[in-house]
Amino acid sequence: RKEVEQDPGPFNVPEGATVAFNCTYSNSASQSFFWYRQDCRKEPKLLMSVYSSGNEDGRFTAQLNRASQYISLLIRDSKLSDSATYLCVVNGRGNNRLAFGKGNQVVVIP
């Protein structure tokens, strides 16, 4: 089983709609979870950390389910500028090493 698994998509989303996707991780001892955003031909940038209690940042909501070992990201009222690849990132191996999913590609359509 891969360390971090994501459905690559693409997720074609009408502007203004809500989109949600999950990511599963294999190491139950993982302690830290993140969502990164990567625009085409650019470097990944932190979108938000994911906390046990769930957290929200504007139109973005992240949830963690430790029992089922998945994290989720929900984007409300999608904007054209939300088009990007969203990478699920987990600290599961210690020694400062992060495990990256392959990303969920989101395309917001006018």
Q: Is 44 in the site for another protein (CB under 8 A)?
A: yes
Select 1 or 41, whichever has its Cβ closest to another protein: 41
Residue that has been written with the tokens 């963690």 in this structure: 64
Please say which residue, 74 or 98, places its beta carbon nearer to another protein: 98
Interface with another protein (CB under 8 A), residue from 12, 49, 52, 65: 49
With the C-alpha atoms ordered 53, 99, 107, 43, is the resulting torsion angle positive or negative? positive
Of 14-22, 37-45, 51-59, 68-76, the segment contacting another protein by CB under 8 A is 37-45
- Among 24, 34, 63, 108, the residue binding another protein under the rule CB under 8 A is 34
The first and second tokens of residue 98, run together, are 């992060």
Among candidates 30, 40, 86, which has minimal Cα distance to 60?
86
Window 55 to 84, contacts with another protein (CB under 8 A): none
Report the C-alpha gap between 90 and 83 in whole angstroms.
Answer: 22
Q: Which residues contact 3 (CB under 8 A, 6 or more apart)?
A: 25, 26, 27, 90, 92, 93, 99
Interface with another protein, residue 39, by CB under 8 A: no
Q: Which residues in this chain contact another protein in the complex, by CB under 8 A?
A: 31-32, 34, 41-46, 49, 87, 91, 94-98, 100-103
